[in-house]
């Protein structure tokens, strides 16, 4: 039987976030996920990190020569963050990035990247080898194919990485709905980025909370066969 490893829930004040190579040319090669869904998810993750004050590092590979700048939706969350430009596929081999990670003082690294098989797997394995805990966000990353993504995820798990989703990550940071400092911000993120559940949040805000004493429409239920209300 495999040894059971107890990994505690994430606390925002223990984490740093690395968003790696979410650039146009990198998106072109993604076939494992819907590309727009990845954008939605990584932006939701970025907004969560900003809400909870999680130090966030943005980085790009050959942005001027080939891949293009980081997608504007991510940059808009952190307008003052200048992405660390690299040429290395393994961002951990870039001295500027390693120094930026060290500067955060955090030992729990949350990572998302394009592509999963290279720009996520390589730095995640390197960080693990250097004693960091790595939590990789699978639905804010993407690969050439579903199989490539799955094999990369398996390799990272085998090496000790912890798979996460973007919403799971920020909900672990929130932990308790009584944490009012971040409650409204969380609701805004979920409403915008969590699909049908987000629609439910919008409905609850605009209808249920706006009309707490609503008892139904006048004469509701008193409708004759032809659809006219009873007198």
Catalytic residue positions, numbered: 119
Q: Which residue has the tokens 């107890």?
A: 6
Asked if residues 49 and 90 have their Cβ atoms less than 8 Å apart, the reply is: no
> What CA–CA distance (Å, rounded) separates 138 from 140?
6
The DSSP 8-state label assigned to residue 142 in this structure reads B
Q: Which residues contact 149 (CB under 8 A, 6 or more apart)?
A: 32, 33, 116, 117, 138, 141, 142, 143
Q: How many residues does the chain have?
A: 231
Provide DSSP, 148-189: HHHHHHHHHHHHT-EEE-HHHHHHHHH--TT-HHHHHHHHHH
Q: How far is CA 75 from CA 20, 57, 82, 199, in A?
A: 12, 11, 9, 25
The answer to whether the CB of 86 falls within 8 A of the CB of 59 is yes
List the structure tokens of 40: 């939605």
**How far is the C-alpha of 190 from the C-alpha of 171, rounded, in Å?**
10
Q: Is 228 helix (H, G, I), strand (E, B) or coil?
A: coil
């Amino acid at each position: 039987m495999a040894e059971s490893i107890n990994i505690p829930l994430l606390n925002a004040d223990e984490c740093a976030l690395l968003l790696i190579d979410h650039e146009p040319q990198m998106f072109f090669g993604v076939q494992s996920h819907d590309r727009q869904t990845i954008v939605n998810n990584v932006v939701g993750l970025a907004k969560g990190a900003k809400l909870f004050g999680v130090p966030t590092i943005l980085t790009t590979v050959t942005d001027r020569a080939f891949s293009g700048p980081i997608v504007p939706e991510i940059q808009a969350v952190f307008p003052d963050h200048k992405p660390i430009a690299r040429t290395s596929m393994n961002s951990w081999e870039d001295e500027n990035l390693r120094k930026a990670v060290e500067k955060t003082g955090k030992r729990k690294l949350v990572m998302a990247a394009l592509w999963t098989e290279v720009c996520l797997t390589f730095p995640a394995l390197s960080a693990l080898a250097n004693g960091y805990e790595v939590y990789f966000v699978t639905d804010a990353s993407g690969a050439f194919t579903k199989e490539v993504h799955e094999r990369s995820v398996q390799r990272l798990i085998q090496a000790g990485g912890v798979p996460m989703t973007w919403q799971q990550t920020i909900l672990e940071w929130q932990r308790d709905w009584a944490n009012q400092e971040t409650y409204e911000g969380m609701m805004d993120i979920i409403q915008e980025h969590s699909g049908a559940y987000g629609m439910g949040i919008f409905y609850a805000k605009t209808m249920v909370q706006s009309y707490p004493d609503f008892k139904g429409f006048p004469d509701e239920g008193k409708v004759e066969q032809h659809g006219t209300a009873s007198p």
